[in-house]
Amino acid sequence: MKRVLFVCVENANRSQMAEAFAHLHGGDQVEALSAGSRPSGQINPKAVRFMAELGYDLTTHASTSLDDISGAFDAVITMGCGDNCPWVPARRREDWALPDPKHMDDDAYRAVRDEIGRRVHALLATL
C-alpha cells in the first residue's frame, strides 16, 4: 500500500480535496492523509459542496495539524504553503503551486478542484 500526504496551510480546501481524490482514485491501494501547517479547524463548506457534486462526502474529514502526522510517505505533496510546510519524510516530494480557492467564485473553485483531481490521478499512476 502506498502512503501519500497532501499539505496546505489551513487543511480546509486544496489538501482536503486532494485526499478525497486519492481515496476515490486509489481505493484500498493508497493510504491518503492531509494536514495543515496552521489548520483552520474546519473544512470549507465550498469544498464539502463541490466534492459532494462528485459523490464524495468531505464531512467525514477533519482539519488536521501536521503535528499529528507521523511516519514516512511514498509522496508528500505541498500546495503553495512554501516555508510554512515543514519537511516530512518521503521518497517523493512535489509542490503543486495551486491557488487557494477559498475566496473564488463557484466556477473558479470547481476549476481548482478539477485540476487537483487530474494531478492526483496522475500522481497515483506513477507511484
Cα angle 77, 72, 79 (rounded to 5 degrees) comes to 15
Query: Which one from 32, 51, 79, 81 is the annotated catalytic residue?
Result: 81
Pairing of strands 90-95, 73-78: parallel
Q: How far is the C-alpha of 23 from the C-alpha of 4, rounded, in Å?
A: 10
Query: Which one from 8, 12, 20, 75 is the annotated catalytic residue?
Result: 8
85 is catalytic: yes
Query: Which one from 9, 30, 32, 85 is the annotated catalytic residue?
Result: 85
8 is catalytic: yes
Q: What is the CA radius of gyration of the chain?
A: 13
6 is catalytic: no
Active site residues: 8, 81, 85
